[in-house]
Structure 1
Amino acid sequence: MGDSAQPQTLLEQFDAAYANVTSDRRDVYGDPQDTYRRISTMRSIVDECPDAQIREILGMIVTKVARLVQTPDHLDSWVDVAGYSRCGVMLLSERQTPSQ
């Protein structure tokens, strides 16, 4: 009934998606060694933040910034930075709101 070329099991679907993602990511973000070196360098500064939750949000932002260094015209990364920034402001806002 189904097309035999289409992945059938969950594992087959995962493997097919993984193959596409790893190829696509290298094309967009460049060599992983360069990207992770940049992330590590920036993350060492972010790790100085004493607030664990904010530190994790900043960590996600620097990941996106490291990718933007390689591909500054990648709109999705810019949107992600904005989204993580909004998450940080949401967190801070919740902390300022007295619980009832």
Structure 2
Amino acid sequence: MKIDEQGRACTVGGVRAPHEDRLAVTKASLLDAAKAAVADRGLNYGKPEDNFLRIAGLWNIYIRDTKGVSAMLNPADIAALMVLMKVARLSNMPAHLDSWTDIAGYAACGAEITNGENSA
């Protein structure tokens, strides 16, 4: 795989990477895509704070049962951990736009959960 000057994959085995046919990504266009993704996810999964609370409960049980330690993950932790999952995926494919978009979405959810209208 070759990397261009913006750090994007240009070729994979001599085949053009899919991003070559896309328009340039701007900060604003990525944030617009993240906003749309968060709205779309809300239709499928409910409010982020409710969904992240469910995930935290399941992960806390999993950690307790498999590692023997008590975990106290909360919805804000889940937002941060989901960002880290996407960062891990980017280490394999830095030009994967969906991961960058999802990071922005998870960051926005985490910020709203901890500082927005839904925070205590």
What range describes the TM-score normalised by the shorter chain of this pair? 0.3 to 0.5
Higher helix share: 1
Q: TM-score, structure 1 length as denominator?
A: 0.43
Q: TM-score, structure 2 length as denominator?
A: 0.36
Higher gyration radius (CA): 1
The structure with higher relative contact order (CA 8 Å, sep 6+) is 2
Higher strand share: 2
